[in-house]
Amino acid sequence: MRFYSSYTNRRGTDCGAAPRDGSAVHTRGWNAGVRVYPGADEGTGADEFAVFMTTGSHGAGGHDVCIGTVQDTPAGPVFIPAGAQAAE
């Protein structure tokens, strides 16, 4: 599997698993959260993560909003805000 998810529990132990294709990680509080979808750039095959702001566990009738992507570049990972053009 290309991607691996992990978290640290309250005892300080790292736990993890390889997610299935199309899976996302959703970390949330009551009214706010973040959802991350792993993937690969269609042109280069480089790692790419879409990052969404969510309404959390409570929901409150909201919807997910894409806030940007994390892209793997030759210089290392870079966050590209939604609507911004990636640097070449």
What digits encode the pLDDT tens for the residues 10-60?
888 888 877 666 688 888 888 899 999 999 888 988 999 999 999 888 866
> Tell me, what's the pLDDT at 7?
80
C-beta separation of 40 from 47 below 8 A? yes
Q: How far apart are CA 85 and CA 88, in angstroms?
A: 9
What count of Cα atoms within 13 Å lies in the side-chain half-sphere of residue 67?
11
Contacts 24+ apart (CB under 8 A), 23-26: 26/54
Banded model confidence at residue 85, pLDDT cuts 50, 70, 90: low
The whole-number pLDDT of residue 4 equals 79
